[in-house]
Chain A
Amino acid sequence: MKAKFEEKLAQLAFGDLSPSDAKKLEIEAQSQQEARETLRLYREMRDGLRGMAEVPEDQFSKERLRDAILKQGLKPRPDRYASNRSWLWMPAVACALGFGLVYARHTILPKNVNPQIVMSKKSLMAPPLLAVHEPIRVADNTPSPANSFIGPIQSPLRKTRTFGYRHRPRHHLEPNEVSPNILAVKLDGDDLNPDFGGANSTIPTSPSASDVPPMVATAASTGPIVFIDQDKDEQTGAQKATEVGNASNVLVGG
């Protein structure tokens, strides 16, 4: 017998079908021996279950319930208004944490963090790949706060590709301050600034970066390379930046 048909028989036996459907199914079930037996069994079940509705009298009392409630201890009734306001601590804590992080970042960390890598003519010992993730600032011969900042869009200088070493926290630059992260810059030939004098020109940088210890840098590409020298320019007192032909001229590593 199909399960669907058996379900219909159960519904018929327990009175869950409409009278018209029940009549049709009753006729259909009478013609099949198995269906007739199943229907009879379901009807016996229905009668037996309805006969089980009688239950013995309970012996329960209010005193017993009261004792049980008192024994288990009454939970304090929760303050609904307090529970509705309970979410407020979450944004408060988030704000406090955020403020604390920002404050700690500006106070604990030194303003001029030691540069990770600095180019130098004298010593060329550097990891092969450089990370530059601060805006590039190069001072020209007449440095001024207005033109000393060369951002990533307006500058003809482009950052070298970054392949890692993004571990230094950002800090804000003061005017005329050279980012210690500026290590190597690559010049594309077609957008060289003529003020820089083309290849092998010397570009003095900001004097405020003079305390940067000489370290190493290298270029990871074959394009023009600019070295920022430790030595100061005699006229301006700023560090020099010298453009070289390409990276093939540079000895990389110790």
Chain B
Amino acid sequence: MGYDASLSGRMELDTDGALVKRARDGDYSAFEKLFDRHRTLVYRFAYQMTSRRDDAEDIVQEAFVRAYQNLHRYRDEAKFTTWLLRIVTNLCTDQARMSQRRSALEQQEAAGALDWMTSGETEDPVHNLEADRRSRALKKALNALPAHHKAVIVLRDIEEREYPDMAAILGCTVGGAKLRVLRARRALKERIAPLLGEERT
């Protein structure tokens, strides 16, 4: 009984809300715990949005700095990860707008480098080539999407988040989130279809 109570009390101390409260009170180690707990989640999303590791790491850093500076604005009714992902989404959208000036060649090189790392799952070289071609086309199409469509695709179809969670991150209703997903998928399909057609010819 006493063991259970102490365990539950310890678990309560380790919840995101409790850590945020401690961090607000000046306990920086509590914030570091939050960072350790959620950095992978944030990094994954940032990487999918930027397709570059260094950009993704910069976004992670900026997201946690902003989170720390704005901890007083965090409302306990929302999940901390939701709030954090909302910050990251905004940062990625801003970064995507700024990086439009970046040359397309640079992005293609980054995508190509990743292809070398991720392709080659099976022994069949023909299958590998085909998978490589599709993957490249998909990445190209995804990178060509506007940031708001891309964020939706990453959240739903890559990170496989539920619609209510997405709605909280995107700041819309569940129905709105579903509608955005439909639109984003259609936009992606319209971009990928000609790419696959080109490569076939």
Contact = CB atoms under 8 A, between A and B. Distances in A.
Interface in A59-103: 59-60, 62, 64-66, 68-69, 72, 74-75, 77-78, 80
B35 A69 contact: no
A56 B72 contact: no
Interface string A147-190: 00000000000000000000000000000000000000000000
Question: What interface size band does chain A fall in?
Answer: 35 or more
Contact of A54 (B32, B118, B196): B118
Given A54-B118, A60-B39, A62-B32, A10 B185 contact: yes
B186 A52 contact: no
Nearest to B32: A62
B158 A50 contact: yes
Given A65-B35, A78-B72, A58 B56 contact: yes
B189 A62 contact: no
Interface of A is mostly: helix
Contacts of B39: 58, 60
Interface stretch (A38-46, A208-216, A231-239, A244-252): A38-46
A78 B142 CA distance: 41
Nearest to A73: B69
Nearest to A52: B158
Contact of A64 (B40, B61, B138, B160): B61
B157 A50 contact: yes
Interface of A: 6-7, 10-11, 14, 38, 41-42, 44-46, 48-56, 58-60, 62, 64-66, 68-69, 72, 74-75, 77-78, 80
